[in-house]
Chains A and B, each alone.
Chain A
Amino acid sequence: EAQVTQNPRYLITVTGKKLTVTCSQNMNHEYMSWYRQDPGLGLRQIYYSMNVEVTDKGDVPEGYKVSRKEKRNFPLILESPSPNQTSLYFCASTPAGAPTGYTFGSGTRLTVV
């Protein structure tokens, strides 16, 4: 089944403890992206990647890092999480070429205490 897989689905952590949220897609998509979703603010892009080793900042990149060493994986790294990073996170992918919609993962609900 074509999908975007995120792990974990739920995570509670403490301020300052480094964490990684993984994202993997099995559709050979070139383009991958991370979003956070907060009440009243909708989906905001954190980082995106056009292809392997090509990443760029989205609208809200502060406090986050990403890497794209392989085409299928696009992990989101929080080096020193803070409570304002408590949010619902989505990974998404889409192929290059003719425009088509994103395929989203199921989301990761992160709570930083």
Chain B
Amino acid sequence: GESVGLHLPTLSVQEGDNSIINCAYSNSASDYFIWYKQESGKGPQFIIDIRSNMDKRQGQRVTVLLNKTVKHLSLQIAATQPGDSAVYFCADRAGGSYIPTFGRGTSLIVHP
């Protein structure tokens, strides 16, 4: 079946390093992609999104890259801080659908 998955369940980095979280998707009809951050005890929070007509989008300290050729999505966090420690989910939606498919999440641990 169609799925969105993450390559690494846990990523540990040192404070100040850049973090890269990867995601693979399989639905070729997906045209909208979202990254969420979930801190312990809280609901997922929207971080950044990208549409399929783009290959890069930047926010504050975050960049999302989309490679449609290999169906790969990544989230880059610059100068990672302890407050970035959380689980990060990617999600995709096919055109016309309001139903996203969520990946299982990558736990980012930032060591001071």
B46 to A31, Cβ gap below 8 A? no
A43 to B46, Cβ gap below 8 A? no
A107 to B43, Cβ gap below 8 A? yes
A94 to B89, Cβ gap below 8 A? no
B51 to A99, Cβ gap below 8 A? yes
Which residue in A40, A42, A99, A106 is a CB contact (below 8 Å) of B102?
A42
The contact size tier of chain B is 20 to 34
B residues near A96, Cβ cutoff 8 Å: 98
Majority secondary structure of chain A interface residues (helix, strand, loop or mixed): strand
Q: How far is the CB of B31 from chain A (nearest CB, A)?
A: 8
The contact size tier of chain A is 20 to 34
A43 to B102, Cβ gap below 8 A? yes
Q: A94-B98, A99-B93, A101-B36 are in contact. Are A42 and B42 (CB under 8 A)?
A: no
Q: How far is the CB of A94 from chain B (nearest CB, A)?
A: 6
Interface string of B19-48 (1 = CB under 8 A from A): 000000000000110101000011111100
A residues near B44, Cβ cutoff 8 Å: 43, 90, 102, 104
Closest to A106 in B: B43
Q: How far is the CB of B69 from chain A (nearest CB, A)?
A: 22
Complex interface residues of chain B between 67 and 91 (CB less than 8 A to chain A): 89
Q: Which of A42, A104, A105 has the most CB of B within 10 A?
A: A42
Q: A48-B98, A48-B99, A102-B100 are in contact. Are A43 and B43 (CB under 8 A)?
A: no
A99 to B46, Cβ gap below 8 A? no
* A45 CB-CB contact with B under 8 Å: yes
Q: A42-B102, A42-B105 are in contact. Are A107 and B89 (CB under 8 A)?
A: no
B residues near A50, Cβ cutoff 8 Å: 98
Interface residues, chain A, CB within 8 Å of chain B?
Answer: 4, 31, 33, 40-43, 45, 48, 50, 58, 90, 92, 94, 96, 99-107
Interface residues, chain B, CB within 8 Å of chain A?
Answer: 31-32, 34, 36, 41-46, 49, 51, 89, 93, 98-100, 102-105
> Which 3 residue pairs spanning A and B have beta carbons closest together?
A104-B43, A101-B46, A42-B104
